[in-house]
């Protein structure tokens, strides 16, 4: 599809805990789109409300976290009948809920870690799960509230911090393996990115501190394992309902089996973010990636895709 100059609204910032990252994503996208000759306005729905310019032809969503990825803004745009990048309201809402997304992927046959769900800050160490454990707020992004519990003594404080980050907590056995992510854009899996923090785990600090994490793209796997990971990414996105763009995270066991972690329906879009890194490995530059996402939004609007 070839599209000429468009009136585009980039939505960035917003009211979530990932506001600062979203501002960076949106600023990078706006610069890229202007470089392609598009007419670009920027809106920051910091209070959860917005009014689009009357000539807006498509919205580029550079929001992250609650409001941006949980289906809220998608529902508002659906009501306005304006196409937007990413996934539709129903898919976004399901994927943002780590518990619901995990259950959908497990039902589809993807490997997942043993887990339980906890909502009581006074709950004891779960029976039937082996240490070490990973604690994740069920509805947060960017590793906000992520906690690692290695010993029984560390459980109470770890649980308290995780619940503070979002209420309901998904508790999983920690899987030994290599952490990776795979983007799926327009039904096509991108090269696999391997994520290796220099120290500790891939938490919020290591994710957003320059130089704290090493990335390899394409990841150094044999062709069979690479295909296995990419296919798992496609299956995970399909399991939550599909969409024009997502990034799916896995831990790859030593035997090459990818274990599902989560689906990100609005991945970071700075020039150093993981989805742009993967696209760059195919020869697709940052501005080209932004254009591709716009074309997908216009060819296959998320509302139409989710029925």
Q: Which residues are catalytic?
A: 18, 142, 208, 247, 249, 262, 264, 268
Give 16's DSSP letter.
Answer: S
* The three-state (H, E, C) secondary structure of 199-240, written as one string: CCCCCHHHHHCCCCEEEECCCCCCHHHHHHHHHHHHHHHHHC
Q: Where are the alpha helices (DSSP H) in the chain?
A: 19-35, 72-80, 89-96, 98-107, 155-164, 204-208, 223-239, 274-280, 286-299, 302-306
Contacts of 2 (CB under 8 A, 6+ apart): none
Residue 42: Cβ within 10 Å count? 17
Q: Where are the alpha helices (DSSP H) in 89-203?
A: 89-96, 98-107, 155-164
Host H or E run for residue 140:
none
DSSP string, 19-63: HHHHHHHHHHHHHHHHHTT-EEEEE--TTS-----TT--EEEE--
């Amino acid at each position: 599809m070839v599209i000429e100059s468009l009136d585009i609204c980039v939505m960035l910032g917003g009211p979530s805990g990932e506001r600062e990252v979203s501002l960076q994503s949106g600023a990078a996208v706006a610069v890229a789109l202007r470089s392609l000759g598009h007419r670009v306005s920027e809106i920051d729905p910091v209070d959860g409300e917005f009014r689009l310019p009357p000539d807006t032809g498509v919205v580029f969503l550079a929001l992250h976290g609650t409001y941006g990825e949980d289906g809220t803004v998608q529902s508002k745009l659906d009501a306005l009948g304006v196409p937007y990048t990413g996934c539709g309201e129903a898919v976004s809402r399901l994927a943002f809920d780590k518990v619901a997304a995990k259950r959908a992927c497990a039902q589809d046959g993807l490997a997942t870690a043993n887990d339980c769900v906890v909502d009581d800050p006074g709950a004891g160490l779960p029976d039937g799960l082996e240490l070490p454990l990973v604690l994740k707020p069920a509805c947060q992004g960017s590793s906000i509230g992520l906690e690692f519990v290695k010993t029984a003594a560390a459980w109470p404080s770890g649980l308290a911090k995780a619940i503070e980050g979002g209420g309901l907590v998904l508790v999983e056995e920690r899987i030994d393996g290599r952490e990776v992510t795979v983007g799926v854009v327009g039904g096509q899996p991108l090269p696999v990115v391997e994520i290796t923090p220099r120290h500790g785990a891939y938490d919020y600090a290591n994710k957003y501190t320059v130089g704290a994490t090493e990335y390899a793209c394409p990841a150094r796997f044999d062709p069979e394992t690479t295909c296995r990971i990419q296919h798992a990414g496609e299956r995970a996105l399909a399991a939550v309902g599909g969409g024009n763009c997502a990034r799916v995270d896995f831990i790859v066991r030593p035997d090459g089996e990818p274990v599902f972690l989560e689906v990100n329906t609005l991945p970071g879009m700075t020039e150093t973010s993981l989805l742009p890194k993967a696209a760059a490995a195919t020869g697709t530059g940052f501005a080209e990636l932004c254009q591709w996402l716009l074309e997908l939004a216009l060819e296959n609007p998320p509302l139409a895709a989710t029925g």
